Structure 1
């Protein structure tokens, strides 16, 4: 599902993958050095994130800094995303061995022949939410009726699907095109707006001194996994490359386990090391890190481990994709790697 980003920065998750066909045409000519042995016998491995360096990737920073990837035989390069980076194309072209995206983004790419598969899901709940002020809170879908709602570019389909899923009368909801910040809500131009759960609420509180009210679309029938880990299907057909992906996921899980136990280290690494020139603050990133817990940790991850993809969760994803008119089936997901990694447990060490 399309989601928006803080400070007016447009997420590539909002776009159908531009130029994916052209990238595929070039793939035969593309080659990667990632199969070569690195220093100390480590295998180079490129990880493409979905956005610029922020604590959204804090568990990965912990894994990198603490040597969890190296523990699993990999020399991992973390490639930042951003408004000019097509993270799915990076995976398709071989520039990255694994990348982050959202399930709808992957399904759209596959509709253009990308041949990608999701092997793990970082955000169990999609971060798309409706943010409102405490003076005029929107706590349930029916509260949207009679309100003026800001819809950033790219979220129109999400709004339509959300209204249909909750049997809302769209004629009773006034929609207003907005940008990608909280200014219209702060000024009272709108009563609510579609937002990214762990970012815009922080900006709203900074601007007003009050916590906003958030309603996750995922809690009301509209959800797809986000921050999913994506590889080419061909990668899993190669024993050595598949082993590297498994090693990466093990290191990644260790980093995120530490994050969930205490995000302090992840916040410090984000602000002081991995995004040291990003103008971020400890206070701001700590708030975001705590909000992300609601997306990362669910009853399913408590039972089976972080990044888990259950049969029920996949069914819900496919139902939402169908509501968004995005073609997909069960082959979009491969749960075998996580099953082998966890071996029936809910943590690894």
Structure 2
């Protein structure tokens, strides 16, 4: 237990940071606005350490400081996040651009508000014996994905497209989240994953592997916050407050990764090992950096997102061209 003098120093530091507008103060202790409402985030995953900035809300209160009660609805892929938002179970979808584009193609009225991870985090991993060194080498291979509605599948298809290949040129196998066992057991020749999934796999003895990074071929955003148009029109003030809470929580995790890693032990289902948590959190912090240096967190890079939409159209994953500028609204991004 901390000594009284230590607690006093902490309190003084927190007070000083709050008075100075510091981003890592415990906001809930200093601001008690009337709660504006509840926002349920429909996620693509279970409550894992990657999103510790959201899971740590009971301890840190970044959303509460903005008058927002936040909840998390787990999913199994970006498609789940979209479906749960369209059904009204979730207010905001934490989803990949591919799932967003495909929903738009079906006529859904959706808008992207915030770029969670502007840097692409997806990859394709194989054992050296498979001799997969370029996307073209994937032709005829069995490739694992987390789920058919996940960003692993969507980004795999983007990589195939860059090599002039189609989905029919490979065999896709659903292997589950962060699951390298099928690769090691020879059930697949390669598996689509993320940087954090690969980091955890290596910690668990994955061994030597060849890695193809999607960002080396098309650095399209990994995840966005997406809402229904009617929700945007009806709840702008609440959504603006939510985005401010998220940005503050993301800035905290970037500035205090060790504290976040410790809290992940308490809140994340995969957070039992603080050293692994720290590695995962640092990877997510890197992915959160804006595509244009100097821009604030959450800024959407229209040009790169448009390239992604064009790739999905060329792949035949969407049937009509999507003009990204028409389905992005940056007006709710926090000004500070």
TM range (shorter): 0.7 to 0.9
Matched, 1:315 2:333: no
Matched, 1:45 2:14: no
Structure-2 change in CA distance of 1:121 and 1:137 (3 Å): farther
- State the TM-score, normalized to the length of structure 1: 0.71
Structure-2 change in CA distance of 1:207 and 1:46 (3 Å): same
Note the aligned Cα RMSD (angstroms).
3.4
Q: Contact conserved, 2:116 with 2:224, CA < 8 A, in 1? A: yes
Match of 1:202 among 200, 203, 222: 200
SS of alignment partner, residue 294 of structure 2:
helix
Q: Which residue pairs with 1:333 in the alignment?
A: 328
Match of 1:117 among 111, 114, 123: 111
- State the TM-score, normalized to the length of structure 2: 0.73
Q: Which residue pairs with 2:276 in the alignment?
A: 284
Report Cα offsets for 1:175-207 as digits up to 9, x if no partner.
574623212332456553222331144124413
Q: Which runs of 4+ in 1 moved over 6 A?
A: 134-137, 168-171
Structure-2 change in CA distance of 1:177 and 1:233 (3 Å): closer
Structure-2 change in CA distance of 1:91 and 1:149 (3 Å): closer
Q: Which residue pairs with 1:163 in the alignment?
A: 160
Measured in 2, the distance between the counterparts of 1:321 and 1:284 equals 34
- Stretches of structure 2 that go unaligned for 5 or more consecutive residues are 1-31
Q: Which residue pairs with 2:13 in the alignment?
A: none
* TM-aligned CA deviation for residue 51 of structure 1: 1.4
SS of alignment partner, residue 335 of structure 1:
coil
Matched, 1:234 2:230: yes
SS of alignment partner, residue 52 of structure 1:
coil
Q: Contact conserved, 2:92 with 2:225, CA < 8 A, in 1? A: yes
Measured in 2, the distance between the counterparts of 1:242 and 1:170 equals 39
SS of alignment partner, residue 309 of structure 1:
coil
Moved more, 103-112 or 128-137: 128-137
Q: Contact conserved, 1:62 with 1:259, CA < 8 A, in 2? A: no
- Stretches of structure 1 that go unaligned for 5 or more consecutive residues are 1-38, 343-347
Report Cα offsets for 1:266-308 as digits up to 9, x if no partner.
2222221x23x657332332232233234222552x4112221
Write out aligned runs for 1:72-221 (5 A).
72-74=66-68, 76-83=69-76, 86-133=80-127, 140-141=134-135, 144=137, 148=141, 150-152=143-145, 154=148, 159=156, 161-167=158-164, 177=173, 179-180=175-176, 181-187=179-185, 192-208=190-206, 210=207, 212-221=209-218
Report Cα offsets for 1:65-86 as digits up to 9, x if no partner.
3222122222x23223134994
Structure-2 change in CA distance of 1:124 and 1:64 (3 Å): farther
Equivalent residue pairs, number: 293
* TM-aligned CA deviation for residue 122 of structure 1: 0.7
SS of alignment partner, residue 298 of structure 2:
coil
Q: Contact conserved, 1:124 with 1:296, CA < 8 A, in 2? A: yes
